[in-house]
Structure 1
Amino acid sequence: MYMNYNEFKTKLIDDLENKLNNEFDISFNKIYKINESYDAMTISKDNIGININLNKQYRMYLDNSYDYAYQRAIHIIEEGFRNKPNIDMKELYDYNVMKNKLFIEIISIKSNIDLLESVPYKQIEDMAIVYRFLLNNDNGRASILITNQILHTLNIDENTLHNDAIKNAQIINPMIINDLSEVLSEMMNEDYSTKERIFIASVADKIHGACVIAYKGFMEQASLKAGGDFYLLPSSIHEVLIVPDNGHFRLEDLQVMVKEVNENEVDEIDQLTDSVYHYDHKEQLFELGEKYLQRLNT
């Protein structure tokens, strides 16, 4: 018999509670993550919490069966505790230790309004820098998003957090700027040349690499690659494109391209913004493309 979302959620919660047999603490809340939010059932034990995305489980039920969604939830819980990061809670609240694990991510303000109410951040045009602690980097990056509550517990101010995070991020996640044609040639195992020299920038592990635009020295290095002023296109949260402002590209065309790529090729969870940005190397000014045009016309 078909179940609506509330009926499914009630049954799944009851079945999971019976399966777990009071060995875990169970709570329910709304989880806000980068570019997404969902209803969560949180399974906790020994300061480790595993979130079950109830909205996602319901989609699994609709696409497959209730038993499939239930078994997947059990698998998430078992795997989550089996592969839990080794966290020393005393270290977590010792800033002198944790500041060496700091790194940054850059996200859309518009797509993360609710999330940004609970975390410290620094605005760059229509984007926001947020801060994380790296827990381990062995099997994918495990990290903790720094919330206002964590910041208060650490007893530091936002400027200290920002400056330390920028400095340390460049150590543990160094930036890389490559010629796009060379990257494509390597991926396709054949010569792939482009009419215009376009560059792609990210971090070493290519995870949330768009953050490089906040690194010290990035704009200057990108300007050297581009031969002066450039447009910056946020192809995703993982990388950005550097397009020389040499008169061969119109801002309006680039804006259309970014919007179309986001709509047709980039998963919503991986999107940064639909905006195009511009860097004026003489003024050392990074701004939205439309602001640049307005400045030119005044």
Structure 2
Amino acid sequence: MDFEQFKEELASSVKEIMYSKYGMEVEIEARTMEKMNSSYEALTVKPEDSIIGVNLNATALYQQYEKGIDIDVITSKAAELAESALNSRPDFDIDSFKDYSKMKETLTMEVVSAERNAALLETVPHRIMEDMAVVYRFEVNTTTTERGSILVTNQMLDQYGITAEQLHADALIHAPEVKPIVIEGMAQVLAKQMGVEDLEMLGLNIPPEQEQIFVASVEGNVHGAGVIAYQDFMKLWTEPTRIRIIIRIILCSRARLIF
């Protein structure tokens, strides 16, 4: 069975299981998902009465099939995953999502590799910074206690009737409010990563005035490298006691700026 046949079989079986086992009538659509640093073929499973669906990674599921896992097992687990995800769908106001005047207040910025995300950048508003690109996200509540984000696309701009320039201007205002900059010394960061509260135990009890390397991130550290896109970010580092040279940018899901 080739990949296209597998996707058809997967879609048909998942739709049947969703109805027979979980009592949910769903629509299933095949699409290519472009993500940061990667892409995959997906099946989007969406209840007929909803505009929100979940994606099944058909590429990964086909790899399981090629390894010899029975397709009935794959489809059963895929349907179970879809049902679980749909029953814990994001807890946010759809009407608010349609209103840019409200959504702009949740804007954040993410910095990614321009080369590795070339295909994705064709579909989203962005700004190039050297060999990096700034993209934009809406921070939303995914549950009553957790938050997630939605990548802003060119299609969204068309629906909102705004330009990429306006989006960027609004992000400059709201991103630092949604995700304030957090500055820590390297010693403090290393101690946290090692789960040690007492810096003296690690020999890292460096007085703040003697610290030479600082880490700039955001609260929670997710998409922390986005701080370099904040307005006048580098002007924060005019104090003579601090190093003002960027040493490294780690572009990953928990990125930070180290300088």
Query: Is the Cα contact below 8 Å between 2:14 and 2:76 reproduced in 1?
Result: no
CA distance in 2, matches of 1:52, 1:80: 10
CA distance in 2, matches of 1:158, 1:186: 38
Aligned position for 2:202: 191
Aligned position for 1:34: 36
CA distance in 2, matches of 1:173, 1:64: 45
Query: Is the Cα contact below 8 Å between 1:185 and 1:192 reproduced in 2?
Result: no
CA distance in 2, matches of 1:58, 1:131: 32
SS at match of 1:73: helix
RMSD (Å), alpha carbons: 2.6
SS at match of 2:79: helix
- Would you say 1:52 and 2:56 are equivalent positions? yes
Aligned position for 1:113: 118
Query: Is the Cα contact below 8 Å between 2:112 and 2:251 reproduced in 1?
Result: no
CA distance in 2, matches of 1:142, 1:215: 20
SS at match of 1:230: coil
CA distance in 1, matches of 2:13, 2:240: 58
Which residue of 82, 86, 91 maps to 1:86?
91
- Would you say 1:142 and 2:148 are equivalent positions? yes
Aligned position for 2:131: 126
* Deviation for aligned residue 1:76: 2.4
Gap change, CA 1:201 and 1:52, over 3 Å in 2: same
Query: Is the Cα contact below 8 Å between 1:230 and 1:242 reproduced in 2?
Result: no
* Deviation for aligned residue 1:6: 4.5
SS at match of 1:107: strand
- What is the TM-score when the length of structure 1 is the normalising length? 0.72
Q: How many residue pairs were aligned?
A: 241
* Deviation for aligned residue 1:33: 1.2
User: What code does the residue aligned with 2:75 have?
Assistant: Y
Deviations 1:32-80 (A, max 9, x none): 1111110010111210111111112233445683355334312321122
Unaligned runs of 5+ in 1: 244-298
Tell which deviates more after alignment, 234-243 or 33-42. Answer: 234-243
- What is the TM-score when the length of structure 2 is the normalising length? 0.82
Gap change, CA 1:223 and 1:49, over 3 Å in 2: farther
CA distance in 1, matches of 2:163, 2:5: 45
Aligned position for 1:175: 181
Percent identical among aligned pairs is 34
* Deviation for aligned residue 1:224: 3.7
* Deviation for aligned residue 1:7: 5.1
CA distance in 1, matches of 2:52, 2:76: 21
CA distance in 1, matches of 2:241, 2:40: 41
Query: Is the Cα contact below 8 Å between 1:222 and 1:242 reproduced in 2?
Result: no
SS at match of 1:227: coil
* Deviation for aligned residue 1:214: 0.7
CA distance in 1, matches of 2:241, 2:86: 47
CA distance in 2, matches of 1:36, 1:134: 21
Query: Is the Cα contact below 8 Å between 1:184 and 1:192 reproduced in 2?
Result: no
User: What code does the residue aligned with 2:171 have?
Assistant: A
Query: Is the Cα contact below 8 Å between 1:203 and 1:212 reproduced in 2?
Result: yes
